Amino acid sequence: MPASSSSSPALPRPVVDFLDTSVLVEILDVPHMNAQRASVLAEMDRRLRARAVRPADGHRHRDG
């Protein structure tokens, strides 16, 4: 019998991106297949930043 959702908090669902070969060759900078590399990297960066996990209280981790 599955645990009830009221007894434990739900875990966030993982986000999965499927990359087409055309995107992968841009990221890998394959010669003669990388004409849009800058825009692909910018889009990937935008997507990664959009899902960055930040502490709810606004504190950032500091080294040292």
Digit-by-digit pLDDT tens for the chain (64 residues) are 555 555 678 887 777 778 899 999 999 999 999 999 999 999 999 988 887 665 565 555 555 4
Distance, in Å, from the CA atom of 44 to the CA atom of 40, rounded to the nearest integer, reads 6
Where helices occur in 1-64 by DSSP H, the ranges are: 21-27, 37-50
Q: Which residues of 46-61 are buried (b: 16+ CB within 10 A; e: fewer)?
A: eeeeeeeeeeeeeeee
Per domain, the residue ranges of the chain are: 21-50
Side chain identity at residue 40, one-letter code: V
